[in-house]
Amino acid sequence: MLPNPASAAPFAAFVMDARSGKEVYSRNGDARLHPASLTKMMTLYMAFAAVEQGKVRLDSRFTISSHAASQPPSRLGLRAGQKIELRYLIRAAAVKSANDAATAIGEGLAGSEPKFAAQMTAMARALGMQNTNFRNANGLTQDGHYSSARDMSTMGRRLFYDYPQYYNIFSRRSADAGIATVASTNRRFLDSYQGADGIKTGYTRAAGFNLTASAQRGNKRIIATVLGGTSTAHRNATMAQLLDQGFGQVPSQVREIRPASPVLTVEKKRTVQVARATPAASPVSAADRPAARASTVPAADVARAVAEAKVASSAAAQAKAPSTSAFRLTESARPKPRGNRGPATQVAAATDEAVALALTPASKPAERPDAAPQGDQPAASASTAGLDGSQRPTAAPRDRKRADAAPPAAAASTFVVAQADIPAVEEEPLEEGDRTDDSVALLKSEKPLPRTDTIILAAMDAPDAAPLAQEVVSRGGSGKGSYGVTLGRYKSRSEAEQLLLKTALQESAALDSAESRVADTKRGFEANFVGLSKGAAELVCSKLQARQQDCAIVP
């Protein structure tokens, strides 16, 4: 349900059964919103993956760049040129939510923050997070940096199942970060909610107060995300309501479905040598050799075509080349004999046919509908490859000489990440300082399901840039009816909001199209649902009155 209607940040919530990954409750769960420091869950996930795959060690020392050292609060206090172990950066990012530590992790793993952000986005796609795009490692407000309540809940579940050996870092109230002992930004919720053991808080002025939490009671585990809370207290109270409702709804016995290992399909790391004949014990004359190397297509186009249609070219080579020749195509089976043409002529013909087949439109592989858009794919170089454990193939010893002489392979996909020059917003919590240049337009996204109240996510002017159009996040109150129900008046707005949230969870079917409102009257804060038909209002009141809840129908 909505928090304060005057809140600057849209509200979203998502609850899942962690054992199966099934949705329990969603309110605007797929809307693309500012995630703030919930971003650091992916930063830490990438760090854990790098350690487990042997790319780095926990005691690897990262050198702090001036960019990382200049990040706004919350900060660990790193200095440019300083060297610090990865284990301390992980603790600072997970416990204190330090922006400088998170940026240092990204730069240390990928070489630069834009490259690391691209790898984060690629990993998000591999994990099924379709409404997420990263532009930095720490979550400070930036154009094009967004996620959703559903995706952040998925991220929390992945941390729990994929790296249980590191998961306890999220339940620590404090930690030794090398140069200082840091306190957890989530300690209030961890101390107040029974069974809570993580995961991550987030705050910026543009995002509001965010939290992804996990809790266990008995054999049940619930993971939930709240985006756009109006305060730490409101966010924690809302999360407690969501978790309570989740524990009450999910069955005790559920078949556990562990998530499958992510597969980074967007990386192009395997290269195929072009059909390039080289005589081993040459039975042909020197005059034949140029013909064997000739091609009707430029070398660069040949490389690109064969890389895209390696199967077709390999098949053509196998069918066309003679077995009596000492020539062979790299990575192809021994060719079969055909005709009485000279070896050099046959190899040239086979190469041209393979290239022609590769360059025809029909031979190009169709684009995957779920492939990431251009710019969301990690580069294939060793320094920017994703953390999926794959390695660039190398030529066998006996073929290394001819591989070195081959034309250049197709260029691997690279990222072009435009980093907008937008003022950053300091991180959580409020007492660490505010800035007013907080809201940056998100990229265009699909409107969420019409199950929520209307909130406008306004675009603010970025420096020296034209303002973007407003994005309206549609939520409930669709004008289906002119009746409402009132649940009574209460002493505080928070009490009224929590009653509305609890009621909406309990009667989600009947109140699906309703909008929640808290009216500030002289006699107290009145909790209302509006936008109902007369029949729907009567149905809601009859159900609530059956549970001894005060309810009255109002026009």
DSSP letters for 484-505: EEEEEEESSHHHHHHHHHHHHH
DSSP letters for 149-198: HHHHHHHHHHHHHH-TTTGGGGG-SEEE-SSSEEE-TTHHHHHHSTTEEE
d(CA 86, CA 328) in angstroms, rounded, equals 48
Instruction: From residue 252, give the alpha-carbon distance in Å to each of 220, 300, 507.
Output: 6, 61, 22
d(CA 471, CA 509) in angstroms, rounded, equals 27
d(CA 187, CA 236) in angstroms, rounded, equals 11
Ramachandran angles phi, psi of 83, nearest 5°: -115, 135
Tell whether omega for the bond before 74 is within 30 degrees of 0, i.e. cis.
Answer: yes
Question: Of 93, 46, 90, 26, whose CA–CA distance to 227 is shortest?
Answer: 26
CB 234 within 8 A of CB 3: yes
Q: Which residue has the tokens 């284990």?
A: 87
From 37, 325, 439, 513, the catalytic residue: 37
From 26, 40, 269, 320, the catalytic residue: 40
DSSP letter (8 states) at residue 133: B
For the record, the structure tokens of 346 come out as 């046959």
d(CA 446, CA 453) in angstroms, rounded, equals 16
Alpha helices in 309-389 (DSSP H): 310-320, 343-359
For the record, the structure tokens of 548 come out as 């001894």
From 26, 74, 97, 513, the catalytic residue: 97
CB 86 within 8 A of CB 57: yes
Is-catalytic flag, 37? yes
CB 56 within 8 A of CB 387: no
Query: How many Å is the maximal CA-CA distance in the chain?
Result: 104
Residue 161, Cβ density class (10 Å: 0-12 exposed, 13-18 middle, ≥19 buried): middle
For the record, the structure tokens of 107 come out as 């730069």
Is-catalytic flag, 413? no
Q: 455-457 and 471-473 as β-strands: parallel, antiparallel, unpaired?
A: antiparallel
CB 379 within 8 A of CB 413: yes
Alpha helices in 327-408 (DSSP H): 343-359, 400-405
CB 186 within 8 A of CB 240: no
Q: Which residue has the tokens 């790319």?
A: 55
Is-catalytic flag, 542? no
The gap from C-alpha 334 to its chain's centroid, in whole angstroms, comes to: 45
Residues forming beta bridges with residue 203, ordered by sequence position: 209
Question: Of 239, 191, 250, whose CA–CA distance to 217 is shortest?
Answer: 250
- Which residues have a catalytic role annotated? 37, 40, 97
